[in-house]
Amino acid sequence: MNWYAELAARYGSPLYVYDLERVAAAQKDLRQALPGGFSLFYSFKANPHPEIARALRDGGALAEISSTGELNAAFAAGFDGSEVLLTGPGKTTEELEVAVDGGVRLFSVESPTDLWHVGQVAARRGVIADCLLRVNSAEPGAATSIRMTGAPSQFGFDEEMIPALMPELRAVPGTRLAGAHLFSLSNSKDEESLVAEFGHTISVAARLQRETGLPIRLLDIGGGFAAPYLTGGERPVYGGLRAGLETVLDAEFSGWRAGTPEIACESGRYLAGDCGTLVCTVVNIKESRGRRFVILDAGINTLGGMSGLGRLLPVSVGLNGATPDGERSPATLVGPLCTPGDILARNVSLPPLAPGDVVTIPNAGAYGMTASLVMFLGHPAPIEVVTHGHQVVSVSRIEFHRKYE
C-alpha cells in the first residue's frame, strides 16, 4: 500500500502530512542562498504547527508571530520570548500583555498609535520594548510579484512621513527604536525581482538612517521567497541572491559583516511549503449537464478558504501519492460542504478516479490548514501527521470547545 494511503487508512481522511526532512532541506537551501550571519525568522502564519516550528528552531530560526495563538505555538515549539518578533497592525492590549509577560521584547510597529500602545503595556510592566519601524516605502523595487508597499495600507509607516514623526517616535515611554522592518514582496516570481526588491529595501533603510537619525541595530528586510502552492513543482534555488545582497549591503551598511547592523529576513512558504501533502478521499463522482464533478472529503473547510468562498486554487491531484500514467480528463474538484462556494478548482486534469480512492494535493505545507475555514458547518478539522521520512513523529487534530461564562 502507498505511504499516503497507508496513513489515511491508519488515521482517517482528510489529513495533512508534514515531512520534517523537507523542512530541514528548505532551511538549508535558504541559508545557503543568504549571506553568512543573516538571522532568519520563521513566519508562523504559513503554518504554526509546533513540530514544524521546532525543527526550524533546531536549525537556528527565530519566530515571527502576529497573534496570541501563534505565540502559544512558538512556546510549544520551544522558542523563548527573546527569540520572538511580534508583528501586525492590530495588536490588542491583551495580546501585548501576554507577549510581554512571556518575555517578548521585540516588536514591529506599524503606526504612531501602535508604538504608543506597545509602550503603554511595556511601561506598566516596567520593561523596555525594542521596536522596529515597519516602513511602507514610497516606490517599489520590482515591478512583478505580489506588492506589499507603495500604496495606502494598514501596514507600516508611510516612508515620507517618518522624518516629521521621528522626534515623537523617539520619545515614547517604554520603547526604544531598534531598527527598521520592510516587507515589500510576497512569493516573488523570479530571482531578479527578489534581488531588486531587497536592494531597494536596504537602500530605503539606509536613507532613513542618514536623513532621520533612525537607529538601526536590526534591519529586517522581509521575505518574498517563492514556493509552489498546491501544485507540482520544486522550490527555486537562488544562486545569485547571496552576491546581490552582499553588494548592496557593502554599499549601504559597511559594518554589516561585523553585525552592525544585524540583518534579518523572514520566510514562511519557502520553509514550510513543500513539506506538506494534503491527503483526501474521493467520496463521489457525478455528471451534471456535461460536466464532471469529483467530490472529495476535503473542501474549503480544509484548504484555501482564507480569501473567501469560491476562491479557485491552482490544484493538482495525484492518485495514491503519484500521478499515474493513462488517460486524464478535466473535472471540477469540489468538497463536501452544502454551499456552491465549496469549489477548489475547475477544469483540473485528473487521472481515472473512483469513490474510495485516496488522492493527494502536493506542496500544501504552507497556507493549507492556516488558510482553511476549519469551523465551517461543523465538519471536523483535518488530522495533521508529522513524519520524519516514513517514521510518524506525532498525530494531532485541532478541536474547538464552546466555553460558557
Type of residue at 395: V
Higher pLDDT, 179 or 312: 179
Domain 3-14+274-397 is found in CATH 2.40.37.10: yes
CATH node for 20-272: 3.20.20.10
For residue 85, pLDDT beyond 90: yes
CA dist 168 and 166 (Å) reads: 5
For residue 260, pLDDT beyond 50: yes
pLDDT range class, residue 312, cuts 50, 70, 90: low
Q: What is the pLDDT at residue 280?
A: 94
Higher pLDDT, 174 or 147: 174
For residue 303, pLDDT beyond 90: no
> Strands 146-147 and 129-136, how do they pair?
unpaired
CA dist 158 and 383 (Å) reads: 42
pLDDT tens string 99-108: 999 999 999 9
Ranked by mean pLDDT, the top range of 136-140, 151-155, 186-190, 335-339 is: 335-339
Answer for the pair 305, 311: CB distance below 8 angstroms, yes or no. Answer: yes
pLDDT tens string 371-393: 888 877 777 889 999 999 999 99
pLDDT range class, residue 147, cuts 50, 70, 90: very low
| Peptide bond preceding 14 in cis form (omega within 30 of 0) | yes
For residue 284, pLDDT beyond 80: yes
Q: What is the pLDDT at residue 321?
A: 47
* Extents of the domains making up the chain: 3-14+274-397, 20-272
Higher pLDDT, 303 or 309: 303
Q: What is the pLDDT at residue 171?
A: 97
Q: For the CA atoms of 65, 118, 306, 49, what is the dihedral angle to 10 degrees?
A: 20
Among 228-242, 350-364, 371-385, the minimum mean pLDDT is found in: 371-385
> How confident is the model over 151-171, as a mean pLDDT?
86
For residue 146, pLDDT beyond 60: no
Instruction: Give the per-residue SS3 of the chain.
Output: CCHHHHHHHHHCCCEEEEEHHHHHHHHHHHHHHCCCCCEEEEECCCCCCHHHHHHHHHCCCEEEECCHHHHHHHHHCCCCHHHEEECCCCCCHHHHHHHHHCCCCEEEECCHHHHHHHHHHHHHCCCCEEEEEEEECCCCCCCCCEECCCCCCCCCEEHHHHHHHHHHHHCCCCEEEEEEECCCEECCCCHHHHHHHHHHHHHHHHHHHHHHCCCCCEEECCCCCCCCCCCCCCCCCCCCHHHHHHHHHHHHCCCHHHCCCEEEEEECHHHHHHHEEEEEEEEEEEEECCEEEEEECCCCCCCCCCCCCCCCCCCCCEECCECCCCCCEEEEEECCCCCCCCEEEEEEEECCCCCCCEEEECCCCCCCCCCCCCCHHHCCCCEEEEEECCEEEEEEECCCCCCCC
Q: What is the pLDDT at residue 104?
A: 98
pLDDT range class, residue 153, cuts 50, 70, 90: low
Mean pLDDT, the chain, as a whole number? 90
Answer for the pair 218, 177: CB distance below 8 angstroms, yes or no. Answer: no
pLDDT range class, residue 310, cuts 50, 70, 90: low
For residue 213, pLDDT beyond 90: yes
Q: What is the pLDDT at residue 320?
A: 59
> How confident is the model over 315-338, as a mean pLDDT?
76
Cell numbers of 338, please?
452544502
pLDDT range class, residue 275, cuts 50, 70, 90: very high
Which of 310, 220, 298, 273 minimizes the C-alpha distance to 45? 273
Q: What is the pLDDT at residue 300?
A: 87
Q: What is the pLDDT at residue 317?
A: 81
Q: What is the pLDDT at residue 319?
A: 66
Q: What is the pLDDT at residue 305?
A: 64
